[in-house]
């Protein structure tokens, strides 16, 4: 199926651990994003990559490090996990940062729970 996919769907881990979330899109898009949705459903962008180049980097702790091995993949690595990192993380992609209305296609989300 053509889509934005994320793994894992659920991630439960202890404080202090390091974990990664993977994202892949097979839509041929060249821009990918990571968003964080908190328990109140507030959705905020974290990072964006265009053709493997970082173009948006919001005020995110440097424990979060995105990596884009190619334009179809954008992974998120989190070091030293904290309780406040518990959230749903969404990956998204779009055709180009210069496209007109920039429809973003979202993955199903990864629910991270830090104990």
Partner 1 sequence: GEDVEQSLFLSVREGDSSVINCTYTDSSSTYLYWYKQEPGAGLQLLTYIFSNMDMKQDQRLTVLLNKKDKHLSLRIADTQTGDSAIYFCAEMRTGTASKLTFGTGTRLQVTL
Q: Which residues bind partner 1 (CB under 8 A)?
A: 4, 31, 40-45, 48, 50, 55-56, 90, 92, 94, 97, 99-109
| Integer Cα distance of 23 and 4 in angstroms | 7
Q: Smallest gap, in angstroms, from Cβ of residue 68 to partner 1?
A: 15
Smaller CB distance to partner 1: residue 73 or 97?
97
Report which of 4, 3, 2, 7 is spatially closest to residue 110, judged by C-alpha positions.
7
- C-beta of 33: minimal distance to partner 1 in Å? 8
- Whose tokens are 């202090």? That residue is 16
By beta-carbon proximity to partner 1, the closer residue of 14 and 42 is 42
Q: Are 110 and 21 in contact (CB under 8 A)?
A: yes
Distance (Å, rounded) from C-alpha 87 to C-alpha 42?
Answer: 10
CB of 80 vs partner 1, minimal distance in Å: 27
Q: Which is nearer to partner 1, 62 or 100 (CB)?
A: 100
């Amino acid at each position: 199926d053509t889509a934005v996919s994320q793994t894992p769907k659920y991630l439960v881990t202890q404080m202090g651990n390091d974990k990664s979330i993977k994202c892949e899109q097979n839509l041929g898009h060249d821009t990918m994003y990571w968003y964080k949705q908190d328990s109140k459903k507030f959705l905020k962008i974290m990072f964006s990559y265009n053709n493997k180049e970082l173009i948006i980097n919001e005020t995110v702790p440097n424990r979060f490090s995105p990596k884009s091995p190619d334009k179809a993949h954008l992974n998120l690595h989190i070091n030293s996990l904290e309780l406040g990192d518990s959230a749903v993380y969404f990956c998204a992609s779009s055709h180009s940062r210069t496209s007109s209305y920039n429809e973003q296609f979202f993955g199903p989300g990864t629910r991270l729970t830090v104990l």
